[in-house]
Each structure stands twice: as C-alpha cells, then as structure tokens.
C-alpha cells in the first residue's frame, strides 16, 4: 500500500505540471470572435511593432511552440498559428517575449542558452555512459567502474530539469514582464485577462514540466539494466 502511494506521488510530481499545462492550453483553445487576429498574425504584428521585422513567424509541429534564437524565428504549433483563441494569442505573445529578450540582449536568455547547450552535451554523454556500462563492467570485471558510469548516466538525466528550474526566471519574464503588459494594451478584453494569466503561467512552466516528465527515462534505464 505504501509503495502504491509513493508511486502515485512520484507520477503526480513528474507528470502533474505537464498535464496541468496541456489542460490549460486546451481549455482556452476555442476560437473567439472578439479576438482580432490569429496567434500567427499577432506574432507578426508584435515583431514588427518592436522593430524585429527580420524575425520570422513559422508554423511548426504540434505542442512545440518556441523561439529559435539561431534562426531568428518564432515558431507556433498549427492551432496557435491559425486560431483566434486565448491560448493562441497568449502563447504567441509569450514566444515574442523571448524574441524581445534576445533583441534586447538580455543576460538571462543568453545564460539559459549556454546552460542548455551544456545540458544537452551532458545528457548525450550520460546516455552513452549508460549504454557502455554493461560492456565495460563485463570486460574489466570492475563493478566500481560500472557503478561510476551508472551514476554519471543518472546525473545526466536530471540535468535538463535542473537547467529549466534554474532558468525559470527567463520563462516567467517572457510571460509576465513581456507578454502580459503587451496583451493588456487592448489586444485582449479585460474580462479575459484572468484566463490569459493562467495560460501565460502554463507557458512559463511548459519546458520545466516536459523535462520533469522526461525523468521517467530513468526508470526505463533501470528496467533495461535489470534484465
């Protein structure tokens, strides 16, 4: 019984934020006639307004909205690109918020980008360590070396979550210091602002929620190695 309770708590911690974020996006995804333009149109308008006409607005895969500082592109999922919904305009404004951070050369975004590159390299190294661990242990007959590689692999799987937790201020700044003040300037009706705040909060937590859910890979690796 205690094991089941602990298991449910772990699942809630890992997947709860992601489920809540996706539920929030879907809840306010219904097109509304009172919204003047789609998410893609709003993103283009805001980029031009803030003198970033060189930044592109592109349609991307579902659930993969992001700003790409390398290609200078705001990328929105099909629903957010085409729809005139609260979710569409809030997510579009959030991603434009990242473009504004980049355009103004704000240190938080540059710091997050450097940490993300580091985390990606560490994760790849960790996956490689987990893959070669059984072979190294069998060849060298040194359990200590295998254990060392195992802990490297585990540590790498937490890296993405740690990076997103440390750089969460970047996301909250894009939502509440950039997007929210913009949307309050007549882009969204006053009656809709409480809903927009919920969507912006979900947008700020999306990357952290996804990286927490990815920690489930740890259990998969343990299951594989126990075979």
pLDDT digits (tens, 9 = 90+) for 5-32: 765 665 665 666 778 889 999 999 999 9
Domain ranges of the chain: 2-225
Instruction: Give DSSP secondary structure letters for 30-48.
Output: S--TTS-S-HHHHHHHHHH
Q: What does the pLDDT read at residue 11?
A: 61
What is the average pLDDT value for the chain, to the nearest integer?
84
Q: What does the pLDDT read at residue 221?
A: 55
Instruction: Identify whether the C-beta of residue 33 lies closer than 8 Å to the C-beta of residue 208.
Output: no
- If one compares 86 and 154, the residue with the highest pLDDT of the two is 86
Q: What does the pLDDT read at residue 217?
A: 60
Nearest one of 28, 177, 7, 20 to 98, comparing CA atoms: 177
The count of C-alpha atoms lying within 13 angstroms of the C-alpha of 206, restricted to the half-sphere facing its C-beta, is 20
- If one compares 221 and 81, the residue with the highest pLDDT of the two is 81
């Amino acid at each position: 019984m205690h094991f089941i309770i602990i298991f449910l708590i772990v699942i809630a911690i890992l997947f709860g934020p992601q489920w809540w974020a996706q539920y929030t996006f879907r809840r306010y995804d219904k097109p509304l006639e009172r919204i003047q333009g789609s998410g893609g149109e709003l993103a283009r308008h805001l980029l031009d307004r803030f003198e970033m006409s060189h930044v592109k607005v592109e349609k991307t895969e579902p659930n993969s909205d992001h700003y790409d500082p390398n290609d200078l592109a705001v990328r929105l999922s099909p629903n957010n690109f085409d729809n005139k919904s609260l979710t569409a305009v809030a997510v579009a404004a959030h991603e434009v918020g990242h473009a504004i951070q980049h355009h103004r050369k704000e240190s938080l975004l540059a710091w997050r980008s450097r940490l993300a590159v580091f985390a990606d390299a560490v994760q790849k190294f960790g996956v490689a360590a987990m893959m070669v661990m059984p072979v190294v242990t069998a060849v060298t007959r040194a359990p200590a070396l295998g254990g060392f590689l195992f802990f490297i692999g585990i540590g790498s799987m937490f890296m993405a979550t740690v990076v997103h937790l440390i750089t969460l201020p970047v996301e909250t700044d894009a939502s509440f210091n950039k997007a929210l003040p913009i949307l309050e300037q007549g882009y969204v009706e006053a009656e809709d602002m409480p809903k927009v705040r919920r969507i912006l909060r979900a947008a700020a937590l999306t990357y952290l929620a996804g990286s927490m859910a990815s920690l489930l890979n740890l259990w998969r690796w343990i299951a594989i190695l126990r075979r």
